[in-house]
Amino acid sequence: MTFLDMLRQAEQTNGSMLCVGLDPDPARFPASLKGDAGRIFDFCARIVDATADLAMAFKPQIAYFAAHRAEEQLEKLMRHMRSAAPHVPVILDAKRGDIGSTAEQYAIEAFERYGADAVTLSPFMGFDSVAPYLQYHGKGAFLLCRTSNPGGDDLQNQRLSSVPGEPLLYEHVARLAQGPWNLNGQLGLVVGATYPAEIERVRALAPTLPLLIPGVGAQGGDALATVKAGWRPEGQIIVNSSRAILYASAGDDFADAARREAIKTRDTLRAARAA
């Protein structure tokens, strides 16, 4: 199946729009694992097992593994997710943004080494930074569009020129992703939950693209506003929560607590869609 097929299946099977972000920080692990970077796989695998029937997607953030020399644990985790939750697609959060042969190597890393179903990319260098990933038919690529950090205004919320009516940069990215760049129907967009009005604007410009929406939970994004702004029958949203789920408890019950938090978030998102 293609990435989009997997998304649809996971949404239907698990009744979910929730993406569980896997950002393992050993300093925040429960006492029995705390500070031990060699236990990153153990921690993440417990989270995956606890949420496999609740998630629309999993999103490991590669920096949290690479910073602790845990790339082999990430490979092991990818295999575990394939076994424990084969119906749930995996988005590798890497935010790569290079071109040419370097981009080709990053694509190999994402799709061949780690076996991800999709990857996050920065489109700042133009279509050259996206094209190598589109050679992997059936895989997905999410372009940073309107991110949740305040500094996103520095570039994303600027007009392309002083001519009246010119689009903002994030609007231009949305139009490119919906249109000429989306050669094989593989693209999606990253839009932060902290800007619901701009989620709605992106959805208007890109009505059929899947939107990966971080920022719900610890970052303060409002679930109801997010769903109202971004979800459409023809356009999926994948709403990410990381820290609120991963660190729902500092005790040995962390996996059970993560499950309870994931259920709460999933049900909140589902109720928002029905409202």
Q: Three-state secondary structure along the chain? A: CCHHHHHHHHHHHHCCCEEEEECCCHHHCCCCCCCCHHHHHHHHHHHHHHHCCCCCEEEEEHHHHHCCCCHHHHHHHHHHHHHHCCCCCEEEEEEECCCHHHHHHHHHHHHHHCCCCEEEECCCCCHHHCHHHHCCCCCEEEEEEECCCHHHHHCCCCECCCCCCCCEHHHHHHHHHHCCCCCCCCEEEEECCCCHHHHHHHHHHCCCCCEEECCECCCCECHHHHHHHHCECCECEEEEECHHHHCCCCCCCHHHHHHHHHHHHHHHHHHHHHC
> What is the pLDDT at residue 163?
77
Put residue 80 in one of left, alpha, beta given phi > 0 → left and psi -120 to 50 → alpha.
alpha
Tens-level pLDDT at each residue, the chain (275 residues): 899 999 999 999 999 999 999 999 999 999 999 999 999 999 999 999 999 999 999 999 999 999 999 999 999 999 999 999 999 999 999 999 999 999 999 999 999 999 999 999 999 999 999 999 999 999 999 999 999 888 988 898 888 887 778 899 999 999 999 999 999 999 999 999 888 999 999 999 999 999 999 977 555 568 888 999 999 989 999 999 999 999 999 999 999 999 999 999 999 999 988 87
CATH of 3-274, one of 1.10.1740.10, 3.40.50.300, 3.20.20.70, 3.40.50.970: 3.20.20.70
CB atoms under 10 Å from CB of 50, counted, come to 22
Angle of helix 40-51 relative to helix 254-274, nearest 10 degrees? 40
Domain map (residue ranges) of the chain = 3-274
Task: Check the CA dihedral 201-207-211-217 and report its sign.
Answer: positive
Specify whether the CB–CB gap between 89 and 115 falls below 8 A: no
Amino acid identity of residue 90, one-letter, is V
**Of 239, 259, 237, nearest in space to 248 by CA:** 259
Query: Cα 213 vs. chain centroid, distance in angstroms?
Result: 7
pTM of the model: 0.95
Q: Are 254 and 230 in contact (CB under 8 A)?
A: no
Active site residue 95: yes
- In the sheet that holds 91-96, the strands lie side by side as 57-60, 18-22, 237-241, 211-213, 187-191, 140-146, 118-121, 91-96
Task: Kindly name the residue from 76, 95, 228, 264 that is annotated as catalytic.
Answer: 95
Query: CA-based Rg of the chain, rounded to a whole angstrom?
Result: 18
What distance, in Å, lies between the first and last C-alpha atoms of the chain?
Answer: 31
Q: Phi/psi of residue 60, each to 5°?
A: -70, 135
